[in-house]
Every structure is written in structure tokens, then in C-alpha cells.
Amino acid sequence: MKRLLLAGIAFCALVPAAALAADLPAAVPMKGPAYVAAYNWSGLYVGVNAGYGWASGSLKGALGGAQLGYNVQMGSVVLGLETDIQATGMKATMTIVDPPDTITDTQKLTWFGTTRARVGFAVDRLLPYFTGGVAYGQRKSDGTVTGGVTGNYTMSATKVGWTAGAGIEGALAGNWTWKVEYLYLTLPGYTATAPLTGGTIENEYNKLTTNIVRAGVNLRF
């Protein structure tokens, strides 16, 4: 009799529990955060930049220009080729006394360009990179001579050298990116002559070593 009573109590306890379980909502599987694809750096791009340069011989000044490039991404490695052209206001003036002559000479880097390889390591929307290649530009000087020889002169030469540096590029909205870059650039020296009243002047200019810091934006296609 006691066994029948206990069985009945257990049955009555199970029935409401089963009914309550039937009313519970079905379990919903947990989901992790949505997967976001890594940024793709491959393709053609064009952009503009502005910055500042300082060089041996106390040359310094603002600069600006445009760049064109192409990237190929393989995993996290990004290989690219970029060329740019820059106009600069970099210049320095010095006075040289060589009795009986006094020379006031203003040296300038009027423009330069580079064609460089880039090797970057993509971290999703950031691309730190190293870069290096060929540099070329026009060195120019204007001056005045007084003393035994007198007159004004202009001397210039377009020279080819090399450049190396590093930078970082980051993705903005749409197909736009920003970049900040440092370049070390060298151009060979040159010697030039100019006819003046009372004789000829010959100036010798040393190798130009230049530091460039610039920022810009690119539009990717």
C-alpha cells in the first residue's frame, strides 16, 4: 500500500514538470560575431600628397605632388610599384667671398620624382611598408657675382640618384586611403660654368642628400 502511495505521489510530481517543460521555448543556438572580411589592398590607385623636405647645404622647404601605383596582395604580403612627381620650394642662399669676387648663390631643388618598389604587410585596414628605388630631379642655382668678375648667372642639371624609406597607409571610407611616408633621397653633384662680364665663373655643387616627410590620400580602383 505504501509503495502504491509513493508511486502516485511521484507521478503527480512529474506530470506538472512535464507540462511546464512543454511550455518552454525551444533552445536557440548561440551565434558568434559576424565575420568581417580582411581589407583587400590589390589594384590600381592614384593620389596626391604634400609635405616638407630638408637637405644638405641647408636646403629646406615645402613640397607637393601626385602619385600613381599598383598593388598585388598575397595573403598578408602586399607587393607594389609606385611612381610620383613633386614640385618643391626647397632652397638655400649662401654668400662666398673669394677675393676679389663675392658670390651670392641660391641653390634650389625645383622638382623631383621617384619610381619605387613597395613591400607591405597588411594588418586588415592598415598597411605598413618599406619602399625604395630610383630618384631623379632638377638641381638649380641662381647667383650674382661682384668684384673682378660681375654679372648674374643661372645653372641647372637634372640628375639621377636613389631613394629609400618607409610609411604606413590606412583605409578610409569607400575606396579612399590615407598615407604618411618618409623618404631618404640622394642626387649626385655637378659642375657648371657661366660666362660673365670680365670672365667665366665655375661652380661645383656637392651631392645632395634629402629627407622627405609627406602625407597624402589615394583613390583605389
Q: How far apart are CA 206 and CA 188, in angstroms?
A: 7
Q: Which residues pair with 61 in a beta bridge?
A: 53
Name the pLDDT band for 18 (thresholds 50, 70, 90).
very low
What average pLDDT does range 189-205 have in this prediction? 89
C-alpha Rg value of the chain to the nearest Å: 35
pTM value?
0.79
Domain boundaries, the chain: 42-220
| Type of residue at 21 | A
Q: For 18, phi and psi rounded to 5 degrees?
A: -65, -40
Domain 42-220 has CATH 2.40.160.20: yes
pLDDT tens, position by position, 46-89? 999 999 999 988 999 999 999 999 999 999 999 999 999 999 99
Is 214:177 a contact under the CB 8 Å cutoff?
Answer: no
